[in-house]
Amino acid sequence: MSAVIVVHGGAWAIPDELAQASVDGVKSAACQGFSVLKGGGSALDAVEAAVRMMEDNTVFNAGHGATLNNNGDVELDAIIMDGKTLACGAVSSVKNIANPVSLARAVMDKTSHVMLTGSGANQFAESMGVETVPTDALVTEYERKEWEKHKTYVNGVMEDFNAQWAHDTVGAVALDCTGNVACATSTGGIRNKKIGRVGDSPVIGSGGYADNFSGAVSCTGHGESILKVTLARLIVSHIEQGKSVSDASQLSLQYMGERVHGAGGSIVVSPSGQWAATFTTERMAWAAAQQDELWYGLEPSQRNKEHFSQ
C-alpha cells in the first residue's frame, strides 16, 4: 500500500502577500505528515501532525493566526476522524487552545462523545492537562489589523457572502500503509462571525469525513454553504457511486455553487491511494506527498511537482 497525505491551507482569494508563505506552509505540513506515514505511523497520527504544524503557523487561520469574531475574540473549531472505525472527535468555539485538533483527538480517544463545545470543551481540555495559552497569544498583528479594517463595513457573511471572507482553514487527509484513511480540519472560522457561530469544520460530514470503504475528505470555504450540502459526505457519496476522487470533488463543489451559491475547496484521498485537491475559489494552497514526490499548487490549474527523499 502506497501511503499518501494531502493537506490544504484554506480556499479563498489569498492575497499575493500571503501566497508564498501559504504554499511553503502546506509543503512543510505535507512533509511532516508524510514522515509519520513513512515511519509506519497511522493515517490518524499523520493528519494530526500535519494539522498541528499548520495551527502553529501564523499564516493560516487555525490556532495561532486565527480570525477574530465580531467581539474581537478567537473561537476555534476542529475535527478528526478515523476511517477504520468511523470514530470521530470534534470541538467547537474553544478558546485559549493552540492545537484544537489534538483536543478533538482527545474527545475521540478519551470520551464517549463526538463533539464538545465552548466552555465544556475548555473544561475538558483542563481535565486532560491540555496546555492552554493566553487569549492574545493566538492573535497576530496581521489579523488584528484586518479585523479593524473590515469590522466597520461587514454586516456578516450570513447576509453577504463573498469568497474572500472564507479564510485559510487548514486540513489534511491521509492513507497509511495498512490501508486506513483519516481526515482532520481546524479553523478560526470566518472573520467577524457572530459570537458562538460554528461553521462546517467541526461537523461530521460537512468539514470532514473518513471511511475506509470510500475515502477521506477535508473541506474549506463558506461554512454555511458547506453545511447546507454536507459537502464532505456528498463527495464520499459520489465516490461510493463509482466516481473518481477528482470527479466526485468537482461535481460536489459545482453543486454547492449552483444550489446555494457557495464557494470552497476540498482534498480527498481514496483507499487505493488516488487523491485530489479541488477548489472553486480564486486560490487554495495545497500539497500532497506520495512515494518520493511532493505535489503542490495555489492557482486553479497549478500542479507543481518536486522529488524529495525522506
* Smallest distance, ligand ASP to C-beta of residue 98, A: 18
Residue with Cβ nearer ligand ASP (94 or 294): 94
Contact region for ligand ASP (CB under 6 A) — 99-107, 186-194, 238-246, 291-299? 186-194
* Smallest distance, ligand ASP to C-beta of residue 225, A: 9
Contact region for ligand ASP (CB under 6 A) — 37-45, 193-201, 208-216, 294-302? 193-201
The residues in 108-167 that bind ligand ASP, with binding defined as CB under 6 A, are 166-167
Residue 70 burial (10 A CB sphere; 0-12, 13-18, 19+): middle
Residue with Cβ nearer ligand ASP (96 or 220): 220
The residues in 49-88 that bind ligand ASP, with binding defined as CB under 6 A, are none
Torsion of CA 197, 181, 291, 31, to 10 degrees: 30
Name residue, grid cell 461530521.
204
* Smallest distance, ligand ASP to C-beta of residue 193, A: 7
* Smallest distance, ligand ASP to C-beta of residue 201, A: 5
Is 283 a residue that touches ligand ASP (CB under 6 A)? no
Q: Which of 223, 262, 271, 297 binds ligand ASP (CB under 6 A)?
A: 223
State the number of CA atoms in the 13 A half-sphere of 173 facing the CB.
31
Laid out side by side, the sheet with 283-290 consists of 115-117, 88-94, 76-82, 181-187, 170-175, 4-12, 283-290, 293-297, 304-307
Residue 28 burial (10 A CB sphere; 0-12, 13-18, 19+): middle
Is 201 a residue that touches ligand ASP (CB under 6 A)? yes
Strand partners of residue 275: 269
Q: Which of 67, 169, 187, 230 is catalytic?
A: 169
Return d(Cα 37, Cα 48) in angstroms, integer. Answer: 12
Residue with Cβ nearer ligand ASP (65 or 223): 223
Is 9 a residue that touches ligand ASP (CB under 6 A)? no
Contact region for ligand ASP (CB under 6 A) — 132-140, 144-152, 217-225, 228-236? 217-225
Give the contacts of 149 (CB within 8 A, at least 6 positions apart). none
Largest CA distance in the chain: 53
Q: Which of 122, 220, 266, 280 binds ligand ASP (CB under 6 A)?
A: 220
Is 187 a residue that touches ligand ASP (CB under 6 A)? yes
Q: Which of 9, 205, 221, 271 binds ligand ASP (CB under 6 A)?
A: 221
Contact region for ligand ASP (CB under 6 A) — 41-49, 108-116, 130-138, 218-226? 218-226
Q: Verify whether residue 169 is a known catalytic residue.
A: yes
Give the contacts of 24 (CB within 8 A, at least 6 positions apart). none
Element spanning 52, H or E: helix 43-55
CA-angle at 17, arms to 13 and 19, nearest 5°: 60
Residue 136: other Cβ atoms inside 10 A: 9
Is 10 a residue that touches ligand ASP (CB under 6 A)? yes
Residues that bind ligand ASP (CB under 6 A): 10, 12, 166-169, 187, 189-190, 199-201, 220-221, 223, 226
List, by residue number, the catalytic residues: 169
